[in-house]
Structure formats: structure tokens, C-alpha cells
Structure 1
Amino acid sequence: MGSPKTPSSLMDNMLGLLRVRIQRGVNLAVRDVRSSDPYVVVKMGKQKLKTRVIKKDVNPEWNEDLTLSVSDPNVPIKLTVYDHDTFSMDDKMGDAEFEVKTFLEAMKMKLDGLPNGTVITRVQPCRTNCLAEESCVTWRDKRVVQDVCLRLRNVECGEVELQLHWIDLPGGKGL
């Protein structure tokens, strides 16, 4: 009795796994008395993952890895911050969206031999993205890493800092 196999058509379409490290929230909105109990929900297509709740903290440190399977590089990642409430529905504390296309393009380059810390490309904040500051795609520790700081929309204040890493799949389509 082996473990159930993933349908090969699913594996054929999968490019690999994107590890999203939700690092921290900065100056998140207050939704309870003087504080909030925030957690983050990350969605990409039909996938939905969430972090743990951090009690009474508008500057929470999650440092939590969420892993998404990527089959279409054009699908944006949506991030929503909520305030956990015990006796009522959780309050929304803002949302953001970001593209992974630039990061995936950098993954296709032959980068072996580059000095550690080399900036491969930069993504500038603009009206069409949620970046709070310039986001650099960097060659670090023999892999491509992107640091992202997102300004939350539909809320009075708050940012979420995260980092992207790529995981190649054996037998996957690859980039």
C-alpha cells in the first residue's frame, strides 16, 4: 500500500513551489480595545493558507513559511490581514496583492557564480502594485530571494513584510 499519487496532469502543469515567509506586520490597524489579534491569509488561485494568530500586537512577528504550488506565473498572490475575534466574525485589517512574475523571470537566469548579495532586479512601487518600497530580487546563499514590503489597502494603516523563495520539484515542469 503506497501513498496516493498526485495526478500526473497536475504535476505536468506545476512549475514548482513558492515559499512565502510572512515575516512581520508593521503598524497594523487597531480593531480591539487598544490592540488587535492579527493573522494573515494568503491566496493564490484556489489555494488558501494562513498564519497563526498573534495576540494583542499591532507589530506582530510571525516568521512563518507558507508554501504555494505555482502552475501559472500570471496569477497574483492575494494577502489579507484579519483580527481574530472569539465571539464574532473576524475583522478585516486590510489586504494587498502582488505579482511573482519578476521573481520567476529571475529564477530562469543562470546565476551560479554570482557574488552573494547581488541584486538581480528591482521592482518599484507604483499605483498598480501594493509595494510600500522598492523590492529587490537578490542572489543570496546560492538561491534567488525577493524581499517584499506591502502596504495594506482598504485600511487606515499597516504593512506586511515577507520574503519569497523558490523550491524546484523533481519531475515538475520547472521554469
Structure 2
Amino acid sequence: MEHLLGLLRIHIHRGVNLAVRDMNSSDPYVVVRLGKQKLKTRVVKKNLNPEWNEDLTLSVADSNLPIKLTVYDKDTFTLDDKMGDAEFDIRPFLEAMKMQLGNLPSGTIITRVKPSRDNCLAEESCIMWTDGKVVQDMVLRLRNVECGEVEIQLQWIDVPGSRGLHM
């Protein structure tokens, strides 16, 4: 793991207005993928606005790889249905980390990432200095589905002995 840059903690906050896949609701869960890594949240039963509030932690070796997020509807007897997907770029977040900021007032906005055709942001995403850490809040609009958004927050964890971001 000599190429490890560090760990990215993705807080999967909640889903908003997710698509209906079972009769009148869905049993959604989120899968996050980066390279060969794949992590998933628990299933929230019968809820189109689920609150997962779960942390998923990925090892990051290549900052250019996008992170893929997919929402699925848990089915008992058949394959789980897809309820849309999104992709996000962690480069703006890592650039903010590299600034090695310190002693900023909590709540200071370091960078704003605007929604564009090239990203899945539903609204402007702020990279902020909060309680001594750099965090990025994102609202991702799900693709390949009629509706739905997922709110997440990124946070970086430096690993002792890893290459780190200070290259």
C-alpha cells in the first residue's frame, strides 16, 4: 500500500425524494465504489427519504479516479433494483486539503464547486473549514432515474506512514 494517499470518510447523510421501486415505496441502500473497493450502507425499509447517517471509509491511492455512488432498492426474492447513480470528483476537496490551512474560524468556506454538466451536483457544494478539519458537503443528483438526491459529506483521514497529500 505504498501508494496510499490516505483515507476518505464519506458520511452518507440521507436520500431525498428517491424513486419508487416497490409498489408505493422502496427499501433503499447506498453502494460506494472506488476502483476495486465497494462499501454499502444498511437498508432503510419503506422510505423514500431515508436517513442513513453512516460513515463509509475508502482508501485513496489515485485522486483522479471518480467515486461512484449507486442507490439500490433491496428486494427479497429478485435482484435489487437500481434507483440511480452519481459520480463525484474528489480533486477539488484534495486541493483544499493541500493548502494546509490552520487557525481559520470554523465555518469558513475555502472553495465552492458549482453544479455543471460534468458533475452530479444538485446545488453548489462548499468545501469548508469546520472544527479544525476540511469537509465538503455535497448534494448529488442521481442519474438514470426519474428523481432522487443523496446528501453526503467528505472528510479526509491522514494515515501515518502513507504518502499523504503533501507531494
Pairwise CA distance, 1:115: 1.0
Matched residue, 2:57: 67
Residue identity in the other structure for 1:27: N
Pairwise CA distance, 1:110: 2.4
SS of the residue corresponding to residue 96 of structure 1 reads strand
Residue identity in the other structure for 1:39: Y
Partner Cα separation in structure 1 for residue 59 and residue 40 of structure 2 = 15
Q: 1:54 aligns with which of 44, 49, 54?
A: 44
Partner Cα separation in structure 2 for residue 157 and residue 115 of structure 1 = 37
Q: 2:126 aligns with which of 126, 129, 136?
A: 136
Question: Please, what is the CA RMSD of the aligned residues?
Answer: 0.5
Q: Give unmatched runs, 5+ long, in structure 2.
A: none
Q: 2:138 aligns with which of 140, 148, 151?
A: 148
Partner Cα separation in structure 1 for residue 103 and residue 9 of structure 2 = 23
SS of the residue corresponding to residue 42 of structure 2 reads coil
Q: 1:42 aligns with which of 13, 18, 32?
A: 32
Partner Cα separation in structure 2 for residue 89 and residue 159 of structure 1 = 22
SS of the residue corresponding to residue 107 of structure 1 reads helix
Whichever of the two has the greater Rg, that structure is 1
Residue identity in the other structure for 1:91: D
Q: 1:120 aligns with which of 110, 124, 131?
A: 110
1:166 aligns with 2:166: no
Partner Cα separation in structure 2 for residue 88 and residue 14 of structure 1 = 38
Q: When the two structures are aligned, how many residues end up with a matched partner?
A: 165
TM-score calculated relative to the size of structure 2: 0.98
Matched residue, 2:83: 93
Matched residue, 2:19: 29
Partner Cα separation in structure 2 for residue 46 and residue 89 of structure 1 = 21
After TM superposition, which residue ranges in structure 1, 4 or more long, deviate above 3 angstroms? none
Q: Give unmatched runs, 5+ long, in structure 1.
A: 1-9
SS of the residue corresponding to residue 13 of structure 1 reads coil
SS of the residue corresponding to residue 86 of structure 2 reads strand
SS of the residue corresponding to residue 40 of structure 1 reads strand
What is the percent sequence identity of the aligned residues? Answer: 73
